[in-house]
Amino acid sequence: MKHKRGYKRGYPVAILLGFESDHAVLWHVFSHVAKLHVTLKLNGKRPDERALYSFHESVVDALRPALDEGIRSIIVTAPMRTTYAQDFLDHVQRHHAYLFQPKSANRATFAQLVGSADEPHKVAELVKTKEFHKLLAETTSDEVDLILNALEKRLYNVNTGSAVLFSLKEIEVRVYDRKMGNGTETNYLILTDKYIADSKDRNRINRLLQIANNRKVKTRIVNVETPAGKRISQLGGTVFFTQPKE
């Protein structure tokens, strides 16, 4: 039963980062649910610049594993009439500018939303709002466009040692190979939601997604109605490709 519950969370979509006066809460947002990841305390008072700097750096450090896995859509929330969210974004722009560079492979997409995300019931209400879904669509679309641009480059310039695979069987062979990922390339797996919904063997796809995640493959499921989704549909509904790390 535990195995089945794991699938109900769906696929990773974004990070929800909620700021309060003395702490921040980081949630992993999946297609079906948001899961609490970590709560980070502010050791000191906000007017203390050193304490606030250390606090913001601890939040960035907590984001790194998700960023490394390819989750680059981040929605930052804070209660109304506070500057907590903007204070953090200002910190990131000053000290981690690479996350905002348009052409950088390490770029993340940030969006702000008014609200509290420090408790499960508040998050449950927040993720149901139209504003949240609008921001989520905008940030994930921006993120997927970056991946799609990288794919297009691979399609027209497939160098020796790189791979662009379209069949599920070929992708499984590649992902299940324990030798995959020698540290010199980044692996991407993109599927449309329609491809998954129409599959006659979803357990097979779920297993692929789970192992891909364990192997640090940057996996994205895209809405078939989006421009990115339509492009992936033209390629069969699923694509795996590699890209040399910068």
pLDDT per residue as tens, the chain (246 positions): 444 444 456 667 789 999 999 999 999 988 778 899 999 999 999 999 999 999 999 999 999 988 877 788 899 999 999 999 999 999 999 999 988 887 666 788 898 999 999 898 899 888 888 888 777 777 767 667 777 887 887 777 755 556 888 999 999 998 888 766 556 678 888 888 888 888 888 888 888 888 887 787 888 888 788 788 888 899 899 999 887 665
Segment 84-124, tens digit of pLDDT = 999 999 999 999 998 888 766 678 889 899 999 989 889 98
Taking the C-alpha atoms of residue 146 and residue 152, their distance in angstroms, rounded to an integer, is 10
Residues 131 and 207 both lie in one domain: no
Residues 217 and 185 both lie in one domain: yes
C-alpha 203 chain-centroid distance: 22
Taking the C-alpha atoms of residue 90 and residue 169, their distance in angstroms, rounded to an integer, is 46
Q: What is the residue range of 128's domain?
A: 2-140
Dihedral angle at the C-alpha atoms of 57, 45, 73, 153, nearest 10 degrees? Answer: -30
Domain count for the chain: 2
Residues 49 and 117 both lie in one domain: yes
Taking the C-alpha atoms of residue 59 and residue 175, their distance in angstroms, rounded to an integer, is 31
Residues 129 and 163 both lie in one domain: no
Unique residue bearing structure tokens 């535990």: 2
Residues 66 and 185 both lie in one domain: no
